[in-house]
Amino acid sequence: MDHYRGGDGNTLNEQVLWHLRGDCDTAALGRALDALTARHESLRTTFEVRRRQLVQRVHPPRPVPLRTVDVSTAPAPRTAARDLIAAEVVTPIDATVWPVRVLLIRIGPAHHALAVTMHHYVSDDYSNALLSRDLRALHHGQPELEPVDWQYADWSQWQHTVLTGENLDRLRDYWTGHLAGAVLPALPEKAATPRSAGEPAFVSVERIIDPAVTAGLRRLARDQRSTLFTVLLALFYRVLAGTTGQHDLAVASLFANRNRAEVRQSVGFFVTMVLLRSQVPPDEPFPALVRRVRTVVMEAMRHQDLPFQLLPPGTVSGPGRTDDVMFQLLGSFLERADMVGDELADLEAQLERRRFALEFVLVPQGGALTALVLGARDRFDPDWAAALVDGYVRLAAQVVAEAAADRVL
**Any domain includes 153:** no
User: Does a structural domain hold residue 157?
Assistant: no
Q: At which of 120, 145, 170 does a domain end?
A: 145
Assess whether 126 and 193 both reside in one domain: no
Which residue in 341, 338, 185, 349 sits closest to 252, CA to CA? Answer: 185
> Does one domain contain both 69 and 187?
no
Residue 358: φ, ψ to 5°: -140, 120
- What does the CA dihedral 167, 171, 172, 177 come to, rounded to 10 degrees? 140
The answer to whether residues 102 and 238 belong to one domain is: no
324-353: pLDDT as tens digits: 899 999 865 555 555 554 444 445 545 555
CATH of the domain at 380: 3.30.559.30
Cα four-point dihedral sign 389, 320, 332, 406: positive
Q: Could you tell me if 124 and 168 lie in one domain?
A: no
Q: Is residue 276 part of a domain?
A: yes
What distance in Å separates the CA atoms of residue 381 and residue 190, rounded to the nearest whole number? Answer: 6
Would 382 be classed as within a structural domain?
yes
Q: How many residues does the chain have?
A: 409
> Whose CA is closest to 281, among 268, 292, 269?
292
**How far does the chain reach from its first CA to its final CA, in angstroms?**
59
Domain presence at residue 154: no
pLDDT of 193: 57
If asked whether residues 375 and 248 sit together in one domain, one would say yes
Intervals of the chain under pLDDT 50? 1-9, 341-346, 349
Do 189 and 102 lie in one domain? The reply is no
Q: Enumerate residues 6+ apart whose C-beta is below 8 A from 119.
A: 12, 13, 14, 93, 95, 99, 100
Which of these three, 117, 145, 173, is where a domain ends? 145
Structure confidence by residue, pLDDT tens digits, 378-406? 888 889 999 999 999 999 999 999 999 88
CA atoms 386, 227, 336, 9: torsion sign = negative
What type of residue is 45? T
**Same domain membership, residue 125 and residue 256:** no
- Do 79 and 192 lie in one domain? The reply is no
Residue 281 counted as domain residue = yes
SS3 of residue 154 by DSSP: helix
Q: Are 395 and 239 in contact (CB under 8 A)?
A: yes
CA dist., res. 379 & res. 359, Å (int): 13
User: Is-contact 234 293, C-beta < 8 A?
Assistant: yes
CB atoms within 10 A of CB 347: 18
How far apart are alpha carbons 235 and 256 in whole angstroms?
21
CATH code, domain carrying 21: 3.30.559.10
Residue 151, in any domain of the structure: no
Domain C-terminal end among 145, 177, 200: 145
Contact 379, 190 (CB under 8 A): yes
- Number of structural domains in the chain: 2
Q: Which domain holds residue 350?
A: 162-408
136 and 170 housed in the same domain: no
Edge-to-edge strand list for the sheet holding 100-108: 13-21, 111-119, 100-108, 67-70
Give me the pLDDT at residue 308, please: 86
- Do 184 and 135 share a structural domain? no
E-strand stretches of 158-241: 202-209
Residue 156 lies in a domain: no
Q: Identify whether residues 229 and 358 lie together within a single domain.
A: yes
Bridge partner residues of 209 (DSSP): 369
Same domain, 402 and 291: yes
